[in-house]
Structure 1
Amino acid sequence: MAGGVKKPVNIFKLKNLDEPKEVFNWRLWFAVLSFGLLGAARGVDEGLINGALKSKNFQDSINYASYSTVEQANIKANISSMVQIGSVGGALIIGRIWATRILCLLWILGIAIFMGSNGNLSLVYFGRFVAGLGVGQSPVVGPVYIAEIAPASIRGFCVCTFTGFVYLGIVLAYFTNYGCQLHLAETQARWMVPTSLHIIFAGLIFLLTFFQYESPRFLVKTGKSDKALHVMSRLRHLPPDHDYVRHEINAITLSHHEEMEASKGAGWLGILKETFTVRSNLYRVGLTLGAQVMGQWSGAGSITIYAPDLFELLGLTGTKESLLVTAVFGIVKLVAAIVCALFLVDFIGRKRSLLLGIACQAISMIYIAAFLSATPELGNEEGYVIPANSGKLRASRGAIVMIYLSGIGWALGWNSMQYLLSSEIFCLRLRAFCSSLAMCLHFANQYGSARAVPDMLLPVREGGISGQGTFWFFSAVTILGGVWVWFFVPETASRSLESMDRLFSLPWWQIGRYGNREAEVLDEAERVGGEKEGEMMSRSGSRVEEEKGMAYEAERRV
């Protein structure tokens, strides 16, 4: 390391990796902010759509009242989940800066079609699908770009800003719905004004991309090493010849060359073969698949989308009241996401934070399931109201608090880790493809969950499994997810992206428990080997100088 490098003090790091203080500069934070905003794409959509579905004007425009209860549940599920269907395809579009611009344009186009549908249910579905093609790229581009530019010691914090903006979008959407419910008459403006948040965020993100640099790792991958060095120098606020910048670029270049050598520079067929036939890569694909399945079917994501309906299911009456409580729910999740980003993922580590979040979710889901089992009238008897001043009413308020606790658990756990895992654990050559694959799985599972929940909540006599059955299902998945994380997910905090392979050097059944310990042993061996090599080179250099001196002295005497 170059002389004069100061050791920054940062209480948010799990380990201090001796990065120069200049690394933590405004260009880094501006880039993190710009691409973190992509999280709002998901948050705004999840927070707004239920408000539109509850608008009487929107319901009248699609003749919602003319359908049966089961058909209404299907329409609600289709409209809510159509973005996820489009997102499965959108997640396949791989890139960084240009991918962001394309996703913003698709996002705006889809929302414009949705707002201009004029009650045509087919256009409503199509507009939501096109918007999904844009929204689906956001959790691929955002976390991957941030992970590739962030210093290792705060990479978890930086990537979690994406999650934070998911919740910021949710909060803004919830409060916009609540404000319009209070102050706007039941006209088109009642649901169109909140929906315009989509266009505002998409336009802002589109403009910000013109002030950003391409990812240095992406530039190395595309053969632009000189430009990668220049961009890394700008992002790190250090000269191009600084040891820290040179070391980072050299590590990225060497890692990429090793990957290309191992794959003989093969194209897409080689990437597919390397992903699914190399045992350690296949294990990583399994981790991302497991994270998406366990996370999405744990129920917390569905609670975000259908929060007003679920608060009413738990005994809260009145549309305004349910929207207000939903808005507060969004704030709770936003605060939890900030706490997770600042104090957990880089301080106590990814795995511990994830297990803590899963524990909060499990407690809340079990309580809600038990409450609904003890009060089977809720959701099964139309118009049933919990008697005032009864024990059931107090238990109902407890269930509402547990919805908040589930949101905290989701923010601390699955909702952060599903992005972190896919953006960190893959090598540079496979990162874009595998992150895209992970997000396809993400949206496919989110579609399945969002599509299924309205039908699951229906009474048994109408083909559902009722509220209590739904939450017992969520409880079982959450507990299963905790066991899976304990045994199979390794700790990735404070490790450079180029050294992730060391976590997967053990047999698959040992990686989750002992992978990080083995990686640290390999790190130490490399460090000691490097010191010995340097010492040998130094001794060799001294010996050469000594021999030169002796030869010079002999020549002088002659």
Structure 2
Amino acid sequence: MLPPKVYTFLCACFAAMGATLYGYDLGVISYVLVAPDFVKTINTDDENYIGFIVSSMLLGAFFGSIPASLIADKFSRRMAITVAGGVFIIGGILQTAAMNKETVFAGRFFAGLGIGMLGVLAPLYQSEIAHPSKRGMLTATFQFFLGIGAIVAGWIAYGVQQTHPNDPIAWRLPLGFQMAPAVPLLLLSFLLPESPRWLMIKGREEEALRTLARLHARGNENDAFVRGEFLTMREKVGEEAAQNQSWSLIFGDRTNLRKVLYGIILQFSVQMTGVSAIQYYAATVYKSVGFSQSTALLINSLNNINALFGELACILLVDRVGRRFPLIAGNLLAGSCFAVATALAKQFAPGGSGGTRGQGIGFVSVLFVYNFAFSACIGPLSWVYPVEIFNTAVRGKATALTCMAAWISNFMIGQVSPKAWENLGWKYYLVFTVCGFTNALTFYVLFPETKGRTLEEMDKYFRETHWFVPGAKVAPISATQREEQLAKEGEHADQILPSHDIEKSLHAGDYHHHESI
């Protein structure tokens, strides 16, 4: 039998296939937009409409977030993942078979619905099955699989455009291939263990204990760590069960509202580093500094590989270095990179020096540095941090709200970037330069470190941590400290089932029927 942490990691990787769909859609669209047969099929040169085709996926993701949370809370995390996989496949079919721009738009929107659902569900599920010491690693796999999707999309699209540049296959094959990762999500999600925290909040204690043991102790329900974790989880869920489980628990509670605000700030900040503008419009970006369209697409494909190494670095290091330092350092480096890129891009603009081959290569090089920093420090943590700071009672709904911020800010960038480059040119990069530095300042001031802490202690931790974090003087903990404490508590627990207190709090299983939508 696999070691517990390996088993939970593999479960997290399966859920993270939802990110592959997102990364693939992010990566493929820049190639599709310039395919001659696709241009002929959509039959429009309206920049606004082209921008809307790009960003309609994100609009769909925005509208998919809340339904995902409601399905996950009512029917389980696994069921919601299955539904999301099915919705995405509908969108993939529409895009692949499209004969006009309206069908392309509809397909992108439906694919976006599925992606929006999975953007909520995958990190939600990953955080709820993880050991406290490995939660960052597990949740960071979401961005890693996003990177894999972008790489696969880039090389498939680049390859067919080299061999069949003017044929329909140049864009239909890449769009069709995106459905492959959705098939196992649709058909095999039932093989995953259910979230023990969802089972607990539904009053299914014995199943929650069995699942915890399966995830964290090779099925041994008497394992000290499992027993300590179970007791802590049950105590916290008992507190939450006594509250009114409606949206008012988010908007009527200052601590929950503060955490939602942090999640929204973080997701908006990600887009303001410029990552999506570069990803969506790679051909425009690299052509502007002297490269041909073919070379520009090749550069983008190589940069996707570069990003994957950054994402791997995050997976390996995030539970050692934490969340706060990478967010601050990564944004400082991002702002610095765009400052250099702006100066180089200016040389190629009308009125500039005309730009040299060396300056073009320098521009590409600095964007490679930026992309590595983003992938190692910013992108993965935008999924890790928000989902781990909420309690079980509101995690689904609150995560949906923070994901909606990710999609709407991404939509904004996708929609305005074509016009911004048309009207502002190189000056558009100044926005990302400034935002990199202001992001770093925001994280330094507001965001406390969450490394190693259990999900059940986050409410107390945020209540006791002053909003001005540098002055809060909160003692850091090691990645394994909480696990050791839970094991000690479990060693002294004589009996952990049944719990009459939580059964009473859950009103004999009727608790979830009183949730307010």
Q: TM-score range by the shorter chain?
A: 0.7 to 0.9
State yes or no: 1:98 paired with 2:72: no
Cα deviation, residue 330, structure 1: 0.3
Cα deviation, residue 367, structure 1: 0.8
User: What corresponds to 1:363 in structure 2?
Assistant: 336
1:109–1:396 distance in 2 versus 1, CA, 3 Å:
same
- 1:213 is paired with a residue of what secondary structure? coil
Q: Aligned partner of 1:355: which letter? A: I
User: Which sits farther off after the overlay, 476-485 or 205-214?
Assistant: 205-214
User: What corresponds to 1:198 in structure 2?
Assistant: 178
Cα deviation, residue 372, structure 1: 2.3
User: What corresponds to 1:493 in structure 2?
Assistant: 451
- 1:491 is paired with a residue of what secondary structure? coil
User: What corresponds to 1:432 in structure 2?
Assistant: 396
State yes or no: 1:472 paired with 2:430: yes
**Equivalent residues in 2 for 1:52-451 (5 A)?**
52-64=32-44, 67=45, 71=46, 73-92=47-66, 93-94=68-69, 95=72, 96-119=77-100, 121-236=101-216, 237-261=218-242, 263=243, 266-268=244-246, 272-317=247-292, 319-343=293-317, 345-377=318-350, 392-451=356-415
1:515–1:146 distance in 2 versus 1, CA, 3 Å:
farther
Counterpart Cα distance in 1 of 2:334 and 2:227: 44
User: What corresponds to 2:505 in structure 1?
Assistant: none
Cα deviation, residue 282, structure 1: 1.6
1:252–1:394 distance in 2 versus 1, CA, 3 Å:
same
Counterpart Cα distance in 1 of 2:139 and 2:268: 21
The answer to whether the Cα contact below 8 Å between 1:489 and 1:512 also exists between their aligned partners in 2 is no
- Measured against aligned partners, the alpha-carbon deviations of 1:397-442 in whole angstroms (never above 9, x if no partner) come to 1111111112112112221111111110011111111001111111
The answer to whether the Cα contact below 8 Å between 2:329 and 2:440 also exists between their aligned partners in 1 is no
Cα deviation, residue 245, structure 1: 1.2
User: Which sits farther off after the overlay, 362-371 or 478-487?
Assistant: 362-371
Counterpart Cα distance in 2 of 1:149 and 1:332: 30
1:143–1:513 distance in 2 versus 1, CA, 3 Å:
farther
Cα deviation, residue 519, structure 1: 8.5
The answer to whether the Cα contact below 8 Å between 2:221 and 2:227 also exists between their aligned partners in 1 is yes
The answer to whether the Cα contact below 8 Å between 1:333 and 1:411 also exists between their aligned partners in 2 is yes
The answer to whether the Cα contact below 8 Å between 1:111 and 1:198 also exists between their aligned partners in 2 is yes
The answer to whether the Cα contact below 8 Å between 2:270 and 2:379 also exists between their aligned partners in 1 is yes
Counterpart Cα distance in 2 of 1:227 and 1:439: 29
The answer to whether the Cα contact below 8 Å between 2:210 and 2:219 also exists between their aligned partners in 1 is no
1:515–1:499 distance in 2 versus 1, CA, 3 Å:
farther
- Measured against aligned partners, the alpha-carbon deviations of 1:188-219 in whole angstroms (never above 9, x if no partner) come to 11111111221111113323313211111111
User: What corresponds to 2:501 in structure 1?
Assistant: none
- Measured against aligned partners, the alpha-carbon deviations of 1:291-349 in whole angstroms (never above 9, x if no partner) come to 012111221122122222211122212x2211111110000001110011112x11111
Q: Which runs of 5+ in 2 are unaligned?
A: 493-517
Cα deviation, residue 352, structure 1: 1.2
- 2:467 is paired with a residue of what secondary structure? helix
Q: Aligned partner of 1:456: which letter? A: A
User: What corresponds to 1:12 in structure 2?
Assistant: none
Counterpart Cα distance in 1 of 2:166 and 2:150: 22
TM-score between both structures, scaled by the size of structure 2? 0.88
The answer to whether the Cα contact below 8 Å between 1:80 and 1:450 also exists between their aligned partners in 2 is yes
TM-score between both structures, scaled by the size of structure 1? 0.81
User: Which sits farther off after the overlay, 493-502 or 430-439?
Assistant: 493-502
Cα deviation, residue 508, structure 1: 4.2
Q: Which runs of 5+ in 1 are unaligned?
A: 1-20, 381-385, 459-463, 535-558
Counterpart Cα distance in 2 of 1:123 and 1:277: 42
1:360–1:197 distance in 2 versus 1, CA, 3 Å:
farther
* Identity level (%): 23
- 2:58 is paired with a residue of what secondary structure? helix
- 2:167 is paired with a residue of what secondary structure? coil
Cα deviation, residue 502, structure 1: 3.3
1:443–1:193 distance in 2 versus 1, CA, 3 Å:
same
Cα deviation, residue 43, structure 1: 0.2
The answer to whether the Cα contact below 8 Å between 1:503 and 1:519 also exists between their aligned partners in 2 is no
User: What corresponds to 2:498 in structure 1?
Assistant: none
The answer to whether the Cα contact below 8 Å between 1:52 and 1:58 also exists between their aligned partners in 2 is yes
User: Which sits farther off after the overlay, 302-311 or 491-500?
Assistant: 302-311
Cα deviation, residue 186, structure 1: 1.6
- Measured against aligned partners, the alpha-carbon deviations of 1:512-543 in whole angstroms (never above 9, x if no partner) come to 652642889xx99xx7xx99xx8xxxxxxxxx
User: What corresponds to 2:509 in structure 1?
Assistant: none
Q: Aligned partner of 1:465: which letter? A: L
Counterpart Cα distance in 1 of 2:37 and 2:136: 43
Q: Which has the higher contact order (CA 8 A, sep 6+)?
A: 2
Q: Aligned partner of 1:350: which letter? A: R
User: What corresponds to 1:550 in structure 2?
Assistant: none
- Measured against aligned partners, the alpha-carbon deviations of 1:47-80 in whole angstroms (never above 9, x if no partner) come to 011111110001011223xx3xxx2x21221111
Counterpart Cα distance in 2 of 1:273 and 1:171: 42
- 1:322 is paired with a residue of what secondary structure? helix
User: What corresponds to 2:22 in structure 1?
Assistant: 42
The answer to whether the Cα contact below 8 Å between 1:86 and 1:131 also exists between their aligned partners in 2 is yes
The answer to whether the Cα contact below 8 Å between 1:178 and 1:324 also exists between their aligned partners in 2 is yes
- Measured against aligned partners, the alpha-carbon deviations of 1:478-517 in whole angstroms (never above 9, x if no partner) come to 1110100011011111111111123313464334652642
Counterpart Cα distance in 2 of 1:503 and 1:367: 40
State yes or no: 1:514 paired with 2:472: yes
Counterpart Cα distance in 1 of 2:147 and 2:42: 30
The answer to whether the Cα contact below 8 Å between 1:488 and 1:513 also exists between their aligned partners in 2 is no
The answer to whether the Cα contact below 8 Å between 1:364 and 1:402 also exists between their aligned partners in 2 is yes
- 1:509 is paired with a residue of what secondary structure? coil
Counterpart Cα distance in 1 of 2:476 and 2:304: 40
The answer to whether the Cα contact below 8 Å between 2:444 and 2:469 also exists between their aligned partners in 1 is no
Q: Aligned partner of 1:505: which letter? A: R
RMSD: 2.3
Counterpart Cα distance in 1 of 2:65 and 2:466: 28
